[in-house]
Amino acid sequence: MMSTLFGVGIFAAFTVGIWFSYSLFMRGDTYAEKVARLLPPDFKPDVFHRKGDTYVGYEKGRNRLVLVDWPHASVLSPNDVVSIDPVHESTLGVTHHWVSVGVPGAVFSPYRIWFQFRRDKRDAWLGQLATICGK
């Protein structure tokens, strides 16, 4: 009985310690928070995709496309997009899928939006971006 209580106490102490250290050291540094800091404050997307520290969103009312490939971000008209290309990278048999979006005059181009291992989702967004951007 005493060893069970001791084990539960150790487990609880580790759980609280991990939670405390995460909240102390990861504050403002999660992927969602990194992306949110780069979005325009008045941006209300009709469609968007965020995976990791990459983001693409389109606001139809103001005709704005927002691209984030942390730490870089661009807000532009969809007509300004130069190119939209599918990209895949394989390492040790694991294939990651991306959409590469070329932006004119940007310091950082092309923006790469990550779709993890999902080719079908990447292809669906590739078609949707091509429609939005008229490519």
Class of domain 39-133: mainly beta
* 47-54 contacts at long range (C-beta below 8 A, 24 or more positions apart): 47/128, 49/113, 49/115, 49/125, 51/113, 51/114, 51/115, 51/116, 52/114, 52/116, 54/111, 54/112, 54/113, 54/114
Mean pLDDT of the chain: 89
Question: Which amino acid does the sequence have at 23?
Answer: S
Q: Read off the pLDDT of each residue in 81-101 and give the average, rounded to a whole number.
A: 90
This prediction has a pTM of 0.76
Question: Which amino acid does the sequence have at 117?
Answer: F
- What residue ranges do the domains of the chain occupy? 1-30, 39-133
pLDDT digits (tens, 9 = 90+) for 59-68: 999 999 999 9
